[in-house]
Amino acid sequence: MKILVLNGPNLDLLGKREPDIYGHATLNEMMTAVEERAAGLGVEVICEQSNDEGALVTRIGHCSGEVDGIVINPAAYTHTSVALRDAIKACGVPCVEVHLSNIQARESFRHESLTAGACVGQISGFGGMSYSLGLEAVVDYLRRKDTK
């Protein structure tokens, strides 16, 4: 089983970006932790990041057949991107949305997620652990689907 872990804009700045909200770990450190969790679950992960909405849309749109599931942190595009929502719907690959911060406890413009409705579910507020929880969730979803 292969899972794409996809990161949106400004997440390449983790470590130095608003550490009071996002912590001190870099994206590389967080992705290393996800890779370790993936090894424990016996699955393969591909970790990627882009600041470009179009690149993310294209990546999602073309991942069917290559990966079995997606863990996505769409970052700011969560709250703005109909294109990302449509790409997640269109690709037909089960997707779990994750956020480091609890978006419901922040500014009101972060309370709405345009992308979550296209996903299997959303995990928000557990820092870097949100990625591992998201990975577990999508793997569990896929394994349960396989045994049906």
Task: Tell me how far, at minimum, the Cβ of 105 lies from ligand DQA, in Å.
Answer: 10
Tokens of 62: 């073309």
By beta-carbon proximity to ligand DQA, the closer residue of 1 and 83 is 83
- Interacting span for ligand DQA (CB under 6 A) from 25-33, 94-102, 114-122, 139-147: 94-102
What's the rounded Cα separation, in Å, for the pair 131 and 33? 9
Contact between 34 and ligand DQA per CB under 6 A: no
How many CA atoms does the CB half-sphere of 41 hold within 13 Å? Answer: 23
Contact between 103 and ligand DQA per CB under 6 A: yes
Task: Identify the three-state secondary structure at position 10.
Answer: coil
What's the rounded Cα separation, in Å, for the pair 55 and 18? 25
What mask, x for binding ligand DQA by CB under 6 A, covers residues 50 to 89?
A: -----------------------x-xx-x-----------
Among 33, 50, 101, 142, binds ligand DQA (CB under 6 A): 101
Start-to-end CA span in the chain (Å): 17
> Per the residue annotation, which of 24, 62, 99, 131 is the catalytic one?
99
User: Any catalytic annotation for residue 111?
Assistant: no
User: Any catalytic annotation for residue 99?
Assistant: yes
b/e burial code for range 57-77 (CB count within 10 A of at least 16 → b)? bebbeebeeebbbbbbbbbeb
Among 43, 88, 100, 114, binds ligand DQA (CB under 6 A): 100
What's the rounded Cα separation, in Å, for the pair 107 and 24? 22
Number of residues that bind ligand DQA (CB under 6 A): 10
Tell me the catalytic residues: 22, 99
Q: Which residues bind ligand DQA (CB under 6 A)?
A: 10, 73, 75-76, 78, 99-101, 103, 110
